[in-house]
Amino acid sequence: MENKLFLVPSSIVLAGVLITGAIVYTNGPRVAVPDNAAQVREAGAAKADLKIRDTDHVLGNPKAKVAVIEYSDFECPFCGRMFSETLPQIKENFIKTGDVKFIYRHFPLKSIHQYAQKAAEASECAGEQGKFWEYHDLVFNRQNSIGADNFKAWAKELGFDSAQFDSCLDSGKYSLRVETDLNEGLALGVNGTPATFVNGKLISGAQPYAEFERVIQEELK
């Protein structure tokens, strides 16, 4: 199985988080990112210094020794593969045991995924009602049906306060939160989705579970 990822296209305006270009894959062009990104990607090297924020959505034991932080896009098919094939095994073998905490952060590739930004905002509106993970799972499970008309319908299906959710989504209340995640990812050298950090060690793309297991076990030692 090929392990591909969506790469951020090569023209980016950070101030407005405007991304333009086309889909490329692992051996395609890389995006220009802030200077410290080189340190993160340096050969074998270093770990990124990623702090858990109070606003993060954390799955599992908050005090777990290993933090798995994924920068992801709800519309990215390789992120969908990470969700459906790899994350369930991480949950079963490491999150349920209390050894790993999993954090989801947003990296919407807006120029190639029409609904990625609003899907991210919708998940934050769900989080406002204490249902981030339920909404996260539903969106990935229905990735082929993603679209503006469904975000509100799915919230209603999950029993949300529809008026609160609809107002939150329509107002763009969490657009800055999503862009903050995106800009942080760029500063860390993320140039495609999914990009997952295991205690700061970057695993790029929809890698098989075995690769995550190897790195997690190293960190647990």
The answer, yes or no, to whether residue 32 has pLDDT greater than 50, is no
Q: Give the three-state DSSP class for 123.
A: helix
The answer, yes or no, to whether residue 17 has pLDDT greater than 50, is no
Q: Which residues pair with 102 in a beta bridge?
A: 59, 68
Q: What is the pLDDT of residues 173-206, one digit of tens each?
A: 999 999 999 999 999 999 999 999 999 999 999 9
Q: What is the mean pLDDT of residues 3-24?
A: 38
Task: Give the pLDDT confidence score for residue 41 in this predicted structure.
Answer: 40
Place of tokens 């929809």: 206
Report the distance separating Cα 105 and Cα 71, nearest Å.
5
Q: Give the three-state DSSP class for 26.
A: coil
Report the distance separating Cα 201 and Cα 205, nearest Å.
13
- CATH number belonging to the domain at 6-220, selected among 1.10.760.10, 3.40.50.2300, 1.20.120.850, 3.40.30.10: 3.40.30.10
Q: How confident is the model at residue 4 (pLDDT cuts 50, 70, 90)?
A: low
pTM for the structure as a whole = 0.81
Task: Give the pLDDT confidence score for residue 48 in this predicted structure.
Answer: 82
The answer, yes or no, to whether residue 219 has pLDDT greater than 70, is yes
Q: What is the pLDDT of residues 109-168, one digit of tens each?
A: 999 999 999 999 999 999 999 999 999 999 999 999 999 889 999 999 999 999 999 999
In the chain, domain spans: 6-220
- Side chain identity, residue 204: S
Helices H / strands E in the chain, number of each: 9, 9
- Nearest to 172, CA basis, from 211, 133, 124: 124
Length of the chain: 221
C-alpha count within 13 angstroms, C-beta hemisphere, residue 124: 25
DSSP-derived letter for residue 143 is: G
